[in-house]
Amino acid sequence: MLLESIEVEKFRNLDGKLPCCIGLNILVGDNGHGKTNWLEAIHVLATTRSFKTAKLQETIRFGEELAIIRGRVEQSEDIHRDLQAALQGNMKSFTVNGKRETIQRYLGQLHAVIFNADELEIVRGQPENRRKFLDGAIVSIYPPFVQTLLDYSRIVKQKNALLAAARENDDSIEKTAELLGPWNDQLTKLASRIHKARVRFVERLNEVLEKKLFAGEELSIRYLSSLEGKGDLADYEALITERLNLRLQAEIAVGYSLVGTHRDDLEILFDGHDLRKFGSAGQQRSALLLLLLANLSVYHSQRQEYPLFLLDDIDAELDYKRIGHLLEFLRNKTQTFVTTSKESFAKQFGIDAQVFMIENGEAQIL
C-alpha cells in the first residue's frame, strides 16, 4: 500500500498537491502553517475520519461550501486506484476510480495510523478511548465490522430512550420488560460479536507486542469485560442475557443501559501497575507507541501490507534517540509521514527522506 500523491482543495488552509515518496516523508514548517492539516487530510482520505474533530464539516475552509481530498494509491505494482473524499455541509462522500462507494467498501482501500498528543488518551484517558482504538483497528482489518458497531450504538441509544421514558412515566417493570425484550435480543447478538472480535484482536496484539518500555518496565494488556466475575465469559451470549435480566430494575431506576460492551475496557499495566493512574508521561508515550507498532504488525499479518504511519509533531513527544530507533524500525516497512517545526530534525533524519517545507498551507520540496 503506497500513497503516491495527495491533492486538496479548500480543506482547512490547504490547496495544492503533495507528491509522496515510498519511505519517510518529513513536513517542516512553523506552527500554524498547515503541517498537521496535511496529515489530517491523509487520515480522512484513508479512514473517512479526522483525528482532530468528530465533525468533518469543520475541516471545510471558512466561507467555502465544499472541500475535496484526492489521492492516488498504488495497491500493487500493476494496480493503482484514485480515491476521493468530498465534504459538503454535513454530507460526505467517498469514491474509488470515480465510483461512489459505501464506507464499508471504501475502508479497504487505504489505512493510516496516527501518533500524536491526542492519541495519548488511549493510555491515559477514559475507557471510551481504548474501545475506539480497538474498534478502529478491527475495522481496518475487517471493514464490515463498522456496521456491527453502528447497529450496536443505535440499539443502545434506542434502549436508553425507552428506559428514560419508562423512568419518567413511572411505568411498571412488567411493561418496560416487555418493551425492552426486542432491543435486548438485538443488543445480545451484537454485543457477542463485538466481544468476540475485541478479545481476538487483543490476543493478536499480545502475540506481537514488545513487552518492554524504553526504561525496561514490562507492559501488559488485557481485554477487560464489564461482565468479568459475573459468570462464564466463554459463553458470552448466555451470560449477557442473564445479566440483562438481572439488571433490569437497576436500568429502569437510572434510565440508561448498564450492561453491554459499551462498558468494557482495555487494561494496560506496566510492572503490574495501572498505566493510566501511575504511569509517567514518558511511560505513557512509550506504551502508546508500542501499542501502535503492534497494531501495525497485526494489520500486516492480516493484510500482507502495512498502513501509513502518521507522526504529528514527533519531536515534541519523543527525544531524538527514541525517534532514531523508531524510524529505523519503520524503515522498509511503512510509508511514514512526520511533522516537525525544527529544520534540525530534517537535517538529522532526512538523508533518505522526502522533505517538504510547509508555508501557508503550501508544500514545497526541499
CATH number of the domain where residue 319 is located: 3.40.50.300
| Residues 186 and 149 occupy one common structural domain | yes
C-alpha cell, 243 = 445479566
| Residues 104 and 159 occupy one common structural domain | no
Q: What is the pLDDT of residues 77-110, one digit of tens each?
A: 788 999 999 999 889 999 999 999 999 899 989 9
| Residues 50 and 167 occupy one common structural domain | no
8 A C-beta contact, residue 13 and residue 34: yes
| Residues 159 and 230 occupy one common structural domain | yes
User: What pLDDT does residue 214 have?
Assistant: 62
- Domain stop point among 288, 303, 318: 303
| Residues 58 and 160 occupy one common structural domain | no
User: What pLDDT does residue 213 have?
Assistant: 66
Q: Which residues of 223-252 are buried (b: 16+ CB within 10 A; e: fewer)?
A: bebbbeeeeeeeebeebbbbbbeebbeebb
User: What pLDDT does residue 27 have?
Assistant: 95
| Residues 78 and 65 occupy one common structural domain | yes
Range of the domain at 225: 120-303
User: What pLDDT does residue 217 have?
Assistant: 79
User: What pLDDT does residue 79 have?
Assistant: 85
| Residues 88 and 235 occupy one common structural domain | no
- Quote the CA–CA distance of 364 and 331 in Å, as a whole number: 24
Total structural domains in the chain?
2
In the chain, which stretches have pLDDT less than 50?
Answer: none
Tell me, what CATH number does 245's domain have? 1.20.1050.90
| Residues 230 and 150 occupy one common structural domain | yes
| Residues 137 and 95 occupy one common structural domain | no
| Residues 151 and 53 occupy one common structural domain | no
Which letter does DSSP use for residue 279 in this model?
-
User: What pLDDT does residue 43 have?
Assistant: 97
The three-state secondary structure class of 157 is helix
8 A C-beta contact, residue 52 and residue 37: no
C-alpha cell, 118 = 491526542
Please provide residue 270's backbone torsions phi and psi, each rounded to the nearest 5 degrees: -125, 125
| Residues 16 and 155 occupy one common structural domain | no
User: What pLDDT does residue 77 have?
Assistant: 74
